[in-house]
Amino acid sequence: MRQVFILVKKEIKELLTWSLLIPIIVMVFFFTFIGRLMKGEMKKASTPKPIIVVDYDKSGLSNYIITSLGQRNLIVKELNGNVEYLLAQAQKSNVNTILILPESLEQKFVKLERPEIQIYSLINSLSPFSDIGSSTLKSALSIVNESLGVRLIKSIKQDAPISAIKHPIKVTDFVSFKNQTIQADPIQIKNNIRVQNVFLPVILLMVIIYISQMIAAAMGQEKENKTLETLLTFPVSRFKILVGKMLGAASVAILLSIVFLVGMKFYMTPITQMGGAAATTLAKTTISIGPSQTVFYAVLTLALFLAIICAASLATLLSIFASDAKQAQVVITPINLLVIFPYFIVLLLDINSLSIFLKIILYIIPFTYPFIMSQALFFNQIPLIIGGMIYMVIFAIIMTAIAAKIFSSDQILTAKLRIRR
Amino acid sequence: MTKACIVQELSKSYGRLEALKNISFEINQGEIFGLIGPNGSGKTTTLRILATLLKPDKGIAKIFDIDVIKHPAEIRRLISYLPEEAGAYKNLSGIDYLKFIADLYSADAGERKQFLDRATTITDLGVRLKDKVKTFSKGMTRKLLLARALMTSPKLAILDEPTVGLDVLNSLEIRKIVKEFVHQGGTVLLSSHNMLEVEFLSDHVALIKEGAILEMGKVGELKEKYHAKNLEEIFFGAAQ
């Protein structure tokens, strides 16, 4: 038993190095930070959401509905005008939901004719928190509907249609997006966009982490085996050696991305078709309001390619400090964080709602752009798309230039990450 | 006599550690020059400076009259460097590794074939050259690397501890290859802490300790000067 204890102690000492601990500690801090951000967003989300209500009926029923909404965490702003005017007002005052209560609402309700009320939702963000306004309104209306149903049941008529008693008011959803208004459920549309775009960030995340590890490990091994020392004395310029390393790894990463993309496409197709005809209609509706599929995939592929080049250049630069394959794990920790941070932010939060400081940090990180590219395409944010692409190119050039400078100096052999075991 | 290498008052520090302190020596064309000293004496730093891997803090280093610091690209065409305990790309076969190096050195197919033929002869590995490097023994890998270093017929071969960690037979073979290379007109600068090996191989030697050269000259002359039987005794005498 004593010998087992001695062996276990030796194994732990061997495994539990700073090279292993630093990335773990950094990750703990990172997730704590993301958690705090989420908490802030949740707090913001729990505040009452403003909605615009147009009351054409001015009846006891319409008044009852408006009062009920006020009691359900919604701030009701009453306005009058046509739909275009209301949408413009909503956009201006940062309100995402409009409820229209039609004329003769009460009259039709009494006659059990299921009067129709309309909800217009403006899609300004794909963040999960952006759904809260319309979901709060929906649940408030559902409660109103049920209580009205109860009223009807109390005065039940034998020949009354069941649906008119169960849901006396018919709610119709409209989505307003980039000057187009179509009849659709905003949450379903957003979910459909998210499902379509979910695989690209995952691929990006996997590929960038993989390429960074690959480059750092390769450089660590080259140093460990002294093949780099030999290579640097060949009659080949240091810049060519560096570019060769970067492009070699980037080519493997691009190949991997293609394999992942094809695999994910096969994986996602049955999921998106799971809802049958309704899902197909929804998918068509989603596509009709989004960018053309060719543009969409061309932009995302280019963004993915540029992100790979950025990762390759940054990994090459950082891997100069890895003296062996084991240290490679430590040197690429910053890259992992630079990928995971924007990934989580874009997945969970709305960038526009973040503080200026966080926004600046996110826009400095080159890997933010591929994650926000699909959203930027849906919202037609051309300057952000082009600016992001240009920034990624500049970032890769700067990182390559710094790496080339270090590669041409003694530091390629003498630079080390100073971490004591 | 043409000088293959001239080193004058070369110094190099790593932070507070003075690795080289004003060392000077010269190597004649067509000879084997041995740099001898214990571990950490500055041998590898000297060789790395001459191989264009490190820049000295001060001093002059010339190879065939070309300044190493000012014209590293030209120097890389003249020299070949074999680091201590170096490896090769493990997933390449021996022959593919040699082809990779030959491709980097020459665009001419005829010249590349000459390089490969020469390397194949030096390694004497036969069909094993087609196997992956990761299956090679230490001795086989060292022979492959030495063949890589000599196949392009460099004007100066810089060999850092060429036989370190090898058994007697493999060491003998490596020494034979080095001697043969010089017979064919090459020049060799080698470092070693194996003084008997250097004594066997070298025409001129320099004894280095703690970054400074203690003594320099022909082995025979040094033996007379220190009344020593071998290089170990010379080193002991000089170090006193």
Q: Would you call A226 and B77 a contact, using CB atoms and an 8 Å cutoff?
A: no
Residue at A137 is within a domain: yes
Determine how many CB atoms are found less than 10 A away from the CB of residue B103.
11
Domain range spanning residue A380?
193-414
List of chain A residues whose C-beta atoms are within 8 Å of the C-beta of residue B55:
409-410
Q: What is the mean pLDDT of residues A127-131?
A: 73
Whether residue A263 sits in one domain with residue A169: no
Distance to chain B for A223, nearest Cα, Å: 9
Q: Are residues A160 and A197 in the same domain?
A: no
Residues A400 and A290 in one domain: yes
Q: Which residues of B touch A230 (CB under 8 A)?
A: 81-83, 86, 145, 148
Chain B residues with beta carbon closer than 8 angstroms to that of A410: 53-55
Q: Which of B5, B2, B107 is nearest to B51 (CA)?
A: B5
pTM of the model: 0.75
Nearest-angstrom CA–CA distance, B117 and A110: 101
> Looking at A183, A202, A230, which one is the last position of a domain?
A183
Instruction: Give the pair of three-digit tokens for residue A139.
Output: 């649940």
Render each residue's pLDDT in chain B as its tens digit; 240 residues: 788 999 999 999 988 888 999 999 999 999 999 998 888 899 999 999 999 999 999 999 999 999 999 999 999 999 999 998 788 888 889 999 999 999 999 889 999 999 999 999 888 888 999 999 989 998 899 889 999 999 999 999 999 988 887 888 888 888 998 999 999 999 999 998 888 888 888 989 999 999 999 989 998 888 888 888 888 888 888 877
A274 and A207 inside one domain: yes
In chain B, which among 130-149 make CB contacts under 8 A with chain A?
145, 148
Is A264 found in the same domain as A171?
Answer: no
How much is the pLDDT for A91?
A: 83
Contacts of B84 in chain A (CB under 8 A): 226
Based on the fold, state whether residues A298 and A337 are members of the same structural domain: yes
Nearest to B14 among A230, A237, A414 (CB): A414
How would you label B175-204 residue by residue, b for 16+ Cβ within 10 Å and e otherwise? bebbeebbeeebbbbbbbbbbebbbbbbbb
- Put simply, the answer to whether A233 touches B89 (Cβ < 8 Å) is no
Distance from CA of B85 to the nearest CA of A (A): 8
**Which pLDDT band holds residue A419 (cuts at 50, 70, 90)?**
very low
Assess contact for B156 and B4: CB atoms under 8 A.
yes
B64 close to B117: Cβ distance less than 8 angstroms: no
CA torsion sign, A298 to A304 to A309 to A310? positive
Alpha helices in B23-137 (DSSP H): 43-50, 72-78, 94-105, 109-123
- In this structure, is residue A13 part of a structural domain? no
> Which residue, among A195, A77, A171, A193, has the nearest Cα to A120 in the 3D structure?
A171
Residues of chain A with C-beta less than 8 angstroms from the C-beta of B164? none
Q: Is B48 on the interface with A (CB under 8 A)?
A: yes
Pairs of residues, one from chain A and one from chain B, whose beta carbons lie less than 8 Å apart: 53
Across the interface, whether the CB atoms of B55 and A233 are under 8 A apart is answered no
C-beta contacts of A68-72 below 8 A and 24+ residues apart: A68/A140, A68/A143, A68/A144, A68/A147, A69/A99, A69/A137, A69/A140, A69/A141, A69/A144, A72/A136, A72/A139, A72/A140, A72/A143
Task: Check residue B112 and give its pLDDT.
Answer: 92
Could you tell me the residue ranges of all domains in chain B? 3-239
Residues of B in contact with A229 (CB under 8 A): 48, 53, 81, 83, 86
- In this complex, do A226 and B53 lie within 8 Å of one another by their Cβ atoms? no
Same domain (yes/no): A158, A201: no
CA gap B126, B222 in Å, rounded? 42
Considering only CB atoms, A233 lies closest to which of B14, B81, B88, namely: B81
Contact B104 A413 (CB under 8 A): no
Question: Which residue(s) pair with B212 in the sheet?
Answer: B209
Give the nearest partner residue to A229 out of B79, B80, B86, using CB atoms. Answer: B86
Check CB contact of B17 with chain A, cutoff 8 Å: no
Quick check: is A37 in a domain? no
Q: Does A418 touch chain B (CB under 8 A)?
A: no
C-alpha–C-alpha distance, residues A2 and A185, integer Å: 67
**What digits encode the pLDDT tens for the residues A386-415?**
999 999 999 999 999 999 888 888 888 876
CATH code for position A86: 3.40.1710.10
Higher pLDDT pick, B122 / A189:
B122
B192, B158 in Cβ contact below 8 A? Answer: no
Give the per-residue pLDDT at B144: 92
Residues in B touching A234 (Cβ below 8 Å): 76, 101, 104-105
CATH fold of B3-239? Rossmann fold (3.40.50)
A420: pLDDT strictly greater than 60: no
User: Do A225 and A294 belong to one domain?
Assistant: yes
CA atoms of A325 and A213, how far apart (whole Å): 10
Instruction: Note whether A215 and A169 are same-domain residues.
Output: no
| Minimal CA separation from B80 to chain A, in Å | 7
- Identify the residue with better confidence: A358 or A168: A358
Q: Do A227 and B89 touch (CB under 8 A)?
A: yes
- Closest-approach residue (CA) in chain A for B86: A226
Most confident residue range from A56-60, A195-199, A273-277: A56-60
Q: How many domains, in total, are found in chain A?
A: 2
* Pair (A102, A136) in one structural domain: yes
Per-residue pLDDT, B136: 92
pLDDT grade for A138, boundaries at 50, 70 and 90: confident
Burial classification of residue A188, based on how many CB atoms lie within 10 Å of its CB (0-12 exposed, 13-18 middle, 19 or more buried): middle
**What is the mean predicted confidence (pLDDT) over A128-152?**
79
pLDDT score, position A160: 63
Question: Residue A235's closest chain B neighbor by CA?
Answer: B76
A414 touches chain B (CB under 8 A): yes
Identify the weakest region by mean pLDDT among A164-178, A212-226, A275-289: A275-289
Select from A183, A208, A225 the last residue of a domain: A183
Q: Is residue A175 part of a domain?
A: yes
Q: How far is A225 from chain B (nearest CA, A)?
A: 5
Distance from CA of B165 to the nearest CA of A (A): 15
Start-to-end Cα distance in chain A: 27
* Whole-angstrom distance, CA of residue A182 vs CA of residue B97: 64
d(CA B155, CA A314): 38
Task: Give pLDDT, residue B28.
Answer: 93
pLDDT at A323 over 90: no
A225 lies in the same domain as A178: no
Task: List the single residue in A230, A237, A414 with the smallest CB-CB distance to B83.
Answer: A230
Q: Which of B76, B83, B148 sits opposite A229 (nearest CB)?
A: B83
Structure tokens at A320: 């100069």
Residues A178 and A213 in one domain: no
pLDDT for the residue numbered B183: 92
* Contact yes or no for B77 and A229 at CB 8 A: no
**Closest approach of A229 to chain B, Cα-based (Å):** 7
The three-state secondary structure class of A290 is coil
**Burial status of residue A268 (CB atoms within 10 A of its CB: 0-12, 13-18, 19 or more):** middle
Contacts 24+ apart (CB under 8 A), A71-74: A72/A136, A72/A139, A72/A140, A72/A143, A73/A46, A73/A48, A73/A49, A73/A136, A74/A48, A74/A49, A74/A50, A74/A136, A74/A137, A74/A140
Residue A273 has pLDDT above 80, yes or no: no
Distance from CA of A238 to the nearest CA of B (A): 10
CB within 8 Å: B84 and A226 = yes
Tell me, yes or no, if A229 comes closer than 8 A to chain B by beta carbon.
yes
Burial of A264 (0-12, 13-18, 19+ CB in 10 A): middle
pLDDT at A279 over 70: no
Is the pLDDT higher at A307 or at A202?
A: A307
Specify the DSSP class assigned to residue A350: -
Last residue of a domain, one of A159, A183, A207: A183
**Angle in degrees, CA A236, A393, A359, rounded to 5:** 140
Q: Residues A254-264: what's their mean pLDDT?
A: 79
Closest CA to A219 of A335, A332, A305: A332
